[in-house]
Amino acid sequence: WGSLSDVLRVLYCIAIPSTLILVLQLLLTMIGGHGDAGVEVSDTSGIDGMDTDFDADLDGNGIPDYLEAPHMTDGGNPADFGSLRLLTLQTVVTFLAVFGWVSIICITAGMPTLVGGGIGLACGLVMMFVVAKLVQVSRKLAENGVLNLRNAIGETATVYLTVPEKDGGSGKITMRLQGRFGEFDAISDSPTPIENGAQVLVIDVRGDELVVEKNG
């Protein structure tokens, strides 16, 4: 240790702890832990189980107020699982471990410090993106495997954004599907639009859109 340069000492102090944390994450994942916990403030995907059914409607339009606030869902929106999250504990630790070890290998092989550090930085960033992409794909596959839109057929929903008339595009509905509230794209075969706040019945699924008709 005493024969190492200051740069190598710093790199070892980065590489060893981050590698230990990465190994711990892998072990926790293998035994059922969550090694990809995000550091994003908006990440609510870990609290899906907290379903309180508090549906306040202070403005009287028939839609729970928490559904009208932007980005205020319980994590049930399938799009949440498809987002690329670069800044998570797993990706940051992966970056530090790869950056540290690659830089150490390059510098001890005789490369200039800046060159070795640059190569380590590049490799760390690449692996950070790769891990983030793998997590994104796994989340999307998991959600697609769990959420079956056909289970919505026969269920009632509330129009969140006006559903246009037939062939007029899509609107949005909110409903409870498979135990959680979610927001879904909806279309209609009706000759007239279905207005915001109306109660509708899901009668079919076309692609990833629900076909609805006015209830009653």
Domains of the chain by residue range: 6-146, 150-214
Per-residue pLDDT tens for 98-136?
999 999 999 999 899 999 999 999 999 999 999 888 887
Residues of the chain with pLDDT under 50: 33-82
How far, in Å, CA of 212 to CA of 216, rounded?
Answer: 12
The pLDDT of residue 125 is 94
C-beta separation of 77 from 182 below 8 A: yes
How far, in Å, CA of 192 to CA of 160, rounded?
Answer: 16
The pLDDT of residue 12 is 92
The pLDDT of residue 31 is 74
The CATH architecture that domain 150-214 belongs to is Beta Barrel (2.40)
- Cα→Cα distances 215→57, 108, 200, Å: 20, 72, 4
The pLDDT of residue 112 is 93
What is the enclosing helix (H) or strand (E) of 205? strand 199-206
The pLDDT of residue 50 is 36
Which two structure tokens, joined as six digits, stand for 59?
A: 């403005």
